[in-house]
Amino acid sequence: MDSENKEEIPVHEEFLLCCGIETKVLKCGPWTDLFNDQGAYRPKVLILIITGNRVTLDSNTQEVKDVYGLHGQIEHKLAFLRTYVPKQMKLVLIGHSIGCYISLQMLKYAPELPVIRSLMLFPTIERMSVSPNGKIATPLLCWFRYALYAISYILLKPLPESIKSFIIRSFGQARSIPDECMCMSPLDPFCLANAAYLGGQEMVQVVERDNETIKKHLSKLIFYYGTIDRWCPKEYYDDIKKDFPEGDIQLCEKKIPHAFILSHSQAMAEMAADWLKDDLSKI
């Protein structure tokens, strides 16, 4: 986790079957099978990164009830851990945006998970619909969602895959985002529909902060709020800081935006590495 270590870390993607659903997993590191790899490549701790609204699951199966909904996403992440990660393996959860809400709910519903640390980056864990962006997104995602479906289908369905790929890669190159970190499905109408469906549920369901779960796991949590974040404005930081003065709750002083992956991924990676350094050195 040393930010000065320039050693190349292999990154590869796999499609795993989880609860009957084909799930894309981006893996960092030389390991492949956590159950059968017993050599030097087997990690002592697994860092699970749960990103913001990005639903790109396969549409063929529905073994998890409402898998594209918010609760279904929580169940799916827990099912992934139970299926592909040994019970005794220590975990670090890194959540961003709604990924923080999912991380908290995982701790709530599966307190037996051996989580040693959970990072909450720009956490959308309360009052989403009344945040500055939420006031705009709520009517679009909750009231006009089907109109968005129709428009995206009409405009994007006829586009050849080569053109979609070119648009996405050009955007990534302009933002200096490596190709392996780019999602190739944002211009797929089906994936956009899933994202809109999940987003609509977020606006409705993410209302009150889960203080009980936060209190129970406070020693494991690090919160990082932004000063220019229109999804979780500074007043949300002030409120949680007041309610949990003993917690590790930090406010960004670098004006890093909510969607930091587009412009400040290196800075956030270095901060995360620094936060985890002590925890990982003890393993």
pLDDT tens for each residue of 164-178:
777 777 776 776 666
Distances (CA, A) of 282 to 69, 87, 279: 37, 19, 6
Q: Which residues contact 9 (CB under 8 A, 6 or more apart)?
A: 28, 29
Among the ranges given (44-48, 125-129, 209-213), the one the predictor scored with the smallest mean pLDDT: 44-48
Closest among 231, 234, 230, 266 to 249, alpha carbons compared: 234
In a domain, 111, yes or no: yes
Q: Are 193 and 57 in contact (CB under 8 A)?
A: no
pLDDT band at 24 (very low <50, low <70, confident <90, very high): confident
- Pairwise pLDDT comparison (19 vs 46), residue with the higher score: 46
Task: State how many domains the chain has.
Answer: 1
Structure token digits, residue 221: 């949590």
Paired sense of beta strands 21-28 and 221-225, if any:
unpaired
Q: 217 catalytic, yes or no?
A: no
pLDDT band at 61 (very low <50, low <70, confident <90, very high): very low
In a domain, 91, yes or no: yes
In a domain, 181, yes or no: no
In a domain, 198, yes or no: no
CATH number of domain containing 213? 3.40.50.1820
Closest among 37, 97, 115, 50 to 76, alpha carbons compared: 50
Element (H, E) at 117: strand 115-121
In a domain, 70, yes or no: yes
In a domain, 155, yes or no: no
Q: Which of 76, 96, 97, 188 is catalytic?
A: 97
Q: 170 catalytic, yes or no?
A: no
Q: Which of 103, 118, 129, 258 is catalytic?
A: 258
Percent of the chain whose pLDDT exceeds 70: 87
Say what the pLDDT of residue 21 is. Answer: 80
Q: What is the pTM of this model?
A: 0.86
Say what the pLDDT of residue 59 is. Answer: 43
Q: 97 catalytic, yes or no?
A: yes
Q: Are 274 and 283 in contact (CB under 8 A)?
A: no
The answer, yes or no, to whether residue 4 has pLDDT greater than 60, is no
Mean pLDDT of all residues in 101-125: 98
What domain range includes position 103?
A: 11-127+208-281
In a domain, 160, yes or no: no
In a domain, 187, yes or no: no
**Distance between alpha carbon 86 and the CA centroid of its chain, in Å?**
21
Q: Which of 76, 96, 131, 229 is catalytic?
A: 229
